[in-house]
Amino acid sequence: MAKRSEEVSNKLKLYLIKDEYNEFDTVVKDPSSPGLHRAVIPGVGTLYYKDSYAQTPAWIGDFFCNHEAINPSAFKVANTQAVLLVKLKAGKTDRIFGIPFGMGRHLMKELAVESRFGLITTLNVIEASAIRSVGKRTISSNPKISIEQISRASGTDDFQINIERDLIESIAGASAYQDFGKVISGKDALSVTAKADVRNIGDFLKKVFDIYNKKDYTKEFKWIDQIREVKDQQILSILNGLLISGLNGTTRVDAWLAIPEIIDWADFNGFKYSARKKDDLIEDLDIEDYLAEKAGTPVTIEQLENDVISCWKESKNNYNHSWSVFQCLNAEVRYNKELYFLDKGKWYRIESSFVKQVEEETRSVKHYPKKLPDFVHQDENDYNNHLARTLNALCLDAKTIQYGGGASKIEVCDVLSDDAVFFHVKKYGGSANLSHLFAQGYVSGELFITDEGFREAVRKKFSLKAPYDLLFPKQRPTASEYSIVFGIITTSTKPLNLPFFSKVTLRSYKRILEAFGFNIYLAQIRNCKPKTRKAALKK
């Protein structure tokens, strides 16, 4: 092997392959492809690569329209595709690493890659106070994906990570290991700058693998494992199997249908288990109704992914939302003593001690002692007007205040009673729907207590008179004299059971609102409206 006179640092991206893929050819997408070559490097591994050809970049034609003033032969690009696969002895088993070059990542099978390998290794290497960037996804409401970067290394506090609702997908920071360069980052892959090349790559990978297997990260980042998206195909297959078995009546499963996003209920005409105009509209989604639509035929995952639920407008003869049944399906499944939750088509594993904490704290939320009227109404607005009349209260549903600059519109509550109770009401739904309800109560409650300008804006907007104007004083109110009630309309006769991620959101906002001094309540509103199918829409 040719030697170099000096050590050179290389920027490397490292992938760990799942242990069930124990042969190189099983890792590669199409090992029999005629354009794929192999170069065996003795004592190291095998380089899989495709031939590279110089070609004119697409922008010469797309943008410059092959203009005669430009000589296309002066511009050439070549996309290289290569991946080095290295097998190491790891305890009693062998593990394969993939090191791609150019576009070589695409030569490997997606499902062969060990998820979070780079993330966990990075967390074991960086200092807790030396983080430079964080990639996260919020899952308690409508998913929000973000990457935050700061100019100076800092701790997690500066990234405003909500450890109960944010999935950390990637992280970068200053390396505490000299061998790993100054900055290290990880997601599924580990990105490092190291004095490693084909001569010592085996030893370097062994060091990386040893660090990956450490539990050092649990000292500062233990919360990172509280909620994890399941990407292991074998476990996904098991969870889907348990779900299907439960839906088909073979075993028991807690599953329900709920729309996966917020909709405008004021312009709502009904749902359908299809996108066909000729089919009848239904008032509410119900897993039993959907299964009845299948006429006793056992359902499959493929059916759940292909069958459509559509949401139809009142104002137009068409639908404005559609989702697969799988996206609308929520389920809680226990496997190997762990809780798994299905939300918006993704499975999550919930760490058991975290489950216990959330369950205990949400069980402590008091139930509103007064019975609220049953729901037999056209929609939420109709119900809130009835609730206001029943309580001799104010209905503020859909009456927002533009406050705080920009286009921020705040809804004080749906119903305000003269005994200082803020009622927030919503139909039972998935985690996004209910999390939106709890967030609404939190935003309104925080502004009410902390912001004199907001209280003044409410008085002016609604021209409040006694006794309601006294509920919004100029001076800071005493929060313990006020109550916030989250009313949830449900067809279930069983005690209210929220989706897990909604419990997480409720727990978070409950802590803050109770710290202000508010009395927090849940109210279960019985949906007694008969299940009816609306007349089919005209073609």
- What local confidence, expressed as pLDDT, does residue 124 receive? 93
pLDDT in tens, 104-151: 998 998 878 888 899 999 999 998 788 888 888 766 544 566 777 877
- What local confidence, expressed as pLDDT, does residue 8 receive? 80
Q: Interhelix angle for 117-125 vs 201-212, to 10°? A: 80
152 token code pair: 């100076």
Distances from the Cα of 32 to the Cα of 15, 51, 87, angstroms: 22, 15, 21
Judge contact between 311 and 263, C-beta under 8 A.
Answer: yes
What lies within 8 Å, CB to CB, of 369 at 6+ separation is none
What lies within 8 Å, CB to CB, of 472 at 6+ separation is 448, 455, 456, 458, 459, 464
DSSP string, 474-530: SSPP-GGG-EEEEEEEES--SPP---HHHHHHHHHHHHHHHHHT-EEEEEEEEB---
**Per-domain residue ranges for the chain?**
8-114, 233-350, 363-526
Q: Interhelix angle for 500-516 vs 352-363, to 10°? A: 50
Q: Give the span between the Cα atoms of 66 and 529, in whole angstroms.
A: 66
> Dihedral through CA 373, CA 376, CA 378, CA 383, nearest 10?
0
Strand extents, DSSP E, 346-460: 346-350, 366-367, 394-395, 400-402, 409-411, 415-417, 421-427
CB-neighbour burial class of residue 75 (10 A; exposed 0-12, middle 13-18, buried 19+) = middle
H or E segment and range at residue 137 = strand 126-138
Q: Give the span between the Cα atoms of 536 and 199, in whole angstroms.
A: 72
> What is the pTM (predicted TM-score) of this model?
0.65
325 token code pair: 């049944």
- What local confidence, expressed as pLDDT, does residue 268 receive? 82
Judge contact between 202 and 190, C-beta under 8 A.
Answer: no
Residues with pLDDT less than 50, the chain: 5, 141-142, 534-539
393 token code pair: 């209260």
Q: Give the span between the Cα atoms of 162 and 501, in whole angstroms.
A: 13
CA 380 to chain centre: 27
- What local confidence, expressed as pLDDT, does residue 539 receive? 31
Q: Interhelix angle for 500-516 vs 431-450, to 10°? A: 10
- What local confidence, expressed as pLDDT, does residue 537 receive? 36
Judge contact between 512 and 147, C-beta under 8 A.
Answer: no
Q: Where are the alpha helices (DSSP H) in 172-267?
A: 201-212, 217-221, 233-247
CA terminus-to-terminus distance, the chain: 75
- Give 170's strand partners: 135
- Give 98's strand partners: 15, 85
Phi, psi of 349 (to 5 degrees): -100, 130
